[in-house]
Structure 1
Amino acid sequence: MLLSIVIPTLNEEEGISSTITGIPFSTLSRMGHDVELLVVDGNSHDKTREIAAKLGAKVILEARRGYGRAYKTGFEQCSGQIIITLDADGTYPAEKIPEYVSHFQSTGLNFLTINRFGRLEDGAMSFSHKIGNKILSATLRLLFGLKIKDSQSGMWILRKDMILSNMPQSDGMGFSEEIKIIAFKDGNAAEIDGEYRRRLGEVKLQTVEDGVNNLRYLLKLRTTF
């Protein structure tokens, strides 16, 4: 089966190499999977695209800014029926992709998200980031009745046909919470404990501004769902 791994990037030259080389391509091949690697780049000004291309990634330049916009483009252009997502900064355990894919297939899920708080490395997340995430996750549970511990996790496994038939509207960081609402309302989604590590490269998240925008977006989504 063809798997598509989609990684959004913007000036991630410090982390993209470790992220890609950490993917266990040989293990996935022994499991019977071919792997397509797509890097969707938001016009980086460093060597992110060059490094990714040298490591075998198909690099897609997406001039329209936004975390969600990058994923929409990647999902639309990938060929695999199962999609795996990662950040480009080495924070997610790429080596566990085979384990997560096996769980995803054996349980017949349409969507699987990884709870970063299952094993959070010291220094991987600032105190304010932790508090903001707790508030957003609690708000999501309250507004939508979903049992999700980590509303902002960016490591997912999903079926392409599921997401193309019901694509989130957000082009920004709100995409992460919106895709979970869509998937869990579908009724065939799950969250499992994973890991989260210290970031390689500059932190781009603006905790207060992004947190407030995500909270507003959750309130907006409540009128839709």
Structure 2
Amino acid sequence: MNVYFTGFFLIFSALLYSQQFKRIKAKQGKDEDYFRYQDYAAPDKPIGEPIFLKGCSWYCGGSVQVISASSELSENKGITYSAANAHDFDKNTAWIEGKPGYGVGEFIEYHFDFRDLQDYKGGLGITKILLANGYKKNKQVWENNSRIQQLKMYVNGEPYAVLNLIDSFEMQTIDIGTIKFPSNKETILKFEITKVYEGKRYKDTAISLLMFDGIGVH
């Protein structure tokens, strides 16, 4: 009897899980579509470091007020691994979770807070995640550290989607549907690590950029 009950419970749990989370697969992108150099001394001689989302983007009008994480790797030799690094337009920094092991169960949260913006009447929203998986400082660092294979995404604490990521050094995108930000409210997006691609040297799991594209800016 217990065997039948256990089997029924597992099947019921699986069905419930599938109803709560839709599954979305990332799409492979190219770095050249998202990074531009400051200038060129000649067609083949760029000046400075490549800049992420140079020019106008969703961030001309959209913003994130608070970014936090369940854990962060401790600072080392002046290098930080804070949650804010995942949203700083810089591929050379990263949020790295700070728990032993591969960080399964750790999460990062984005707060879109419009409670004190009297002139905001709604209209802003996001439709796509722009993601640099792993520690994108350079290819060797990327290979040595672990990357995210799967994220669970929550909107205001409610299950929204399972995001299946690509183990790629270059940018990838995830079409998540339209999530609008109402006026006089705070919207919180949570991304929880559920699976990882193991690094060659370190168990620490990293993400260099988790940023957004969307609607309501132009």
Q: TM-score, normalised by structure 2?
A: 0.27
More strand by share: 2
The structure with the larger Rg is: 2
Q: Which has the higher contact order (CA 8 A, sep 6+)?
A: 2
Q: TM-score, normalised by structure 1?
A: 0.26
